[in-house]
Structure 1
């Protein structure tokens, strides 16, 4: 087989890239090592920046997100037993975020790809990348006991942190930056109405908590736990009791609990691999960077990468110029490091660190007090939370 672009990874970033390329008249094939049901079943984030919503619109897959998504004009910060609202909309000149589950984004993109008759190869394993340091890259995979190969012009590595794309790059060509945090998030998904119509981020002496949602009837809650914790040690009752202990009195009174649909612990890390281009191989999303989920940047950074990459490839094929591709890594990484900074800062502000003690807690509370009472500080938070704009090539 031959195509113009092989996209390795069929998650939301790979699917969005495929749809954007299709809309630009660029042939592409997606190769995914898991089944479609597995990809669709992954529980992930659900806060979409305006940049992400704009890219979904460009790809023609924003209809359901706009109809069913929950627009949010603000967030609440809880500390010292009281909540304080950050007016995202008012502080950023009318910008907002949309709560719409990543699973639903993936579903919409899968449906659009199927309707367009585009090729997605599921259960392709193992996958290997070849000759991406030449003008004739190839992707090889096994399926149903046979080996297949796709020749292409470019390979887009959208296969996540543990995927083959970054692992195929020679180690001496990569510069890796990483910070591993000494805690994780225990998350519960439940079919209960959200505690609040906006997200609540809580800083407490017992640790961080987040009250979020996926819809008007489905909620997502998190509490900070140690890295040694195991999901099986947490019953539903134990989780709800711990969450209550990290909320203000009014929130505790209105919290609706119920059986968990999904329960998991996610470790927190910051990670960046530089550069993001190696000849004909271009990395995007978690293949190149990871952020702690505190700032809701993971999916949004991936879609921003895809926005840059689709535009660069469109320029390449339309104008026969590699100038935009040559700037792809630079532009992505400028935005990536700003999001890494914000996610690190917000994580450092809201979580309890084992070695910081009571002094550290008091410093966090003082900074939070300054943050909610300073328009300049609140504006900085709001601008980063709703998402920085994409730059032009």
Structure 2
């Protein structure tokens, strides 16, 4: 088999790259180690920056997003039993974010790819990349019991933190940076109306909370918990009681509870691998970087990587220019490190650290006071939250 761009991974970044390349007439093939149903079953966040919304529109998959997504012009910070509104639109000159689940983004991209007849090889095992440090890159994998070889011009590694793409790079050629946080997020998805029409980020002496939603009838809630906690120890009743205990009185009174549809504990980490290009292999999305979910930058960073990478490939094939390819890594990393900084700052501000000295708690409290009392501080936060320019 042969194609121009071989994409490893059929998550939202790989599918979005494939769709953008298809629209530009660049041949591409996606290889995915999981089944399509497994990919769609992954529960992820869904706060989209305007630049991500625009890119999905450019890819031709924005119709359902605009019909069903929820435009948010602000969010709320909750501490000391009170909520404080962060007016994103006022502070950023009219910008907003879109709440639309990553699962739905993936579904839209899958359906669009199927509609145009582009090929995705699901359940591909034993994927092996080769030749990306030379002129003839490719991959070998097993599909339906048959070992196949795929030759290509370039490989796009969109297969996540645990994927084969980054693992295929020689250790001497890549540098990684990582910070692991000493807590996790216990998340519950439920078919209950959201407690608020906007997201609520809460700092409480018992731990961080996030009140989010997927639709007007489906809610997503999170609690900060120690990494030692087990999902099986958290009944629905225990979760709702703990969430209510960390809320302000108005939110606690408005909370509607119900059976959980999904419950899981996710660890938090900051991670960056650099550079993001190795000859003819390019990393994108979670294969190159992870952010803690505070601030919802993961999917949006992946989308900005895909924007730069699709532009680079299209420029190469249309104009025979290597400029986009040569500058891909530097362009991505400039935006990535800014998003990593914001996610680290917001996470540190809103969470309680184990055995945190009293002075640190006092400093965080003072910073929250300053933040909600200063338009300049709120504007800086809002600028980062809606997404820095690409």
Alignment TM class, shorter chain as reference: over 0.9
Alignment partners' CA distance in 2, 1:364 and 1:237: 31
> Do the aligned residues in 2 keep the contact of 1:97 with 1:386 (CA within 8 Å)?
yes
Runs of 4 or more off by more than 4 Å in structure 1?
A: none
Deviations 1:334-360 (A, max 9, x none): 000000000000000000001324332
Instruction: Give the secondary structure class of the aligned counterpart of 1:295.
Output: coil
* 1:3 Cα deviation after fit: 0.4
* 1:145 Cα deviation after fit: 1.4
2:194 is aligned to: 194
Alignment partners' CA distance in 2, 1:139 and 1:59: 26
Q: How high is the TM-score relative to the length of structure 2?
A: 0.99
Instruction: Give the secondary structure class of the aligned counterpart of 1:261.
Output: strand
> Do the aligned residues in 2 keep the contact of 1:4 with 1:153 (CA within 8 Å)?
yes
Alignment partners' CA distance in 1, 2:191 and 2:258: 7
Alignment partners' CA distance in 1, 2:60 and 2:94: 24
Instruction: Give the secondary structure class of the aligned counterpart of 1:335.
Output: helix
Deviations 1:7-60 (A, max 9, x none): 000000000000000011100000000000000000001100001101000000
Alignment partners' CA distance in 1, 2:317 and 2:145: 35
Deviations 1:218-265 (A, max 9, x none): 000000000111100100000001101110001000000000000000
Ranges in structure 2 where 5+ consecutive residues have no aligned partner: none
Instruction: Give the secondary structure class of the aligned counterpart of 1:169.
Output: coil
Instruction: Give the secondary structure class of the aligned counterpart of 2:294.
Output: helix
Ranges in structure 1 where 5+ consecutive residues have no aligned partner: none
1:144 is aligned to: 144
2:374 is aligned to: 374
2:352 is aligned to: 352
2:73 is aligned to: 73
Alignment partners' CA distance in 2, 1:66 and 1:171: 43
1:105 is aligned to: 105
Please tell me whether residue 252 in structure 1 is matched to residue 226 in structure 2.
no
Please tell me whether residue 185 in structure 1 is matched to residue 185 in structure 2.
yes
- 1:91-170 → structure 2 map (5 Å cutoff): 91-170=91-170
1:385 is aligned to: 385
* 1:146 Cα deviation after fit: 1.1
- 1:250-289 → structure 2 map (5 Å cutoff): 250-289=250-289
* 1:378 Cα deviation after fit: 0.1
Alignment partners' CA distance in 1, 2:132 and 2:116: 28
2:36 is aligned to: 36
Instruction: Give the secondary structure class of the aligned counterpart of 1:214.
Output: strand
Please tell me whether residue 204 in structure 1 is matched to residue 199 in structure 2.
no
1:309 is aligned to: 309
Instruction: Give the secondary structure class of the aligned counterpart of 1:126.
Output: strand
Deviations 1:176-215 (A, max 9, x none): 1000000000000000000000000000111100000000
Aligned length: 390
> Do the aligned residues in 2 keep the contact of 1:80 with 1:365 (CA within 8 Å)?
no
* 1:362 Cα deviation after fit: 2.0
Question: Please, what is the CA RMSD of the aligned residues?
Answer: 0.6
Alignment partners' CA distance in 2, 1:60 and 1:351: 39
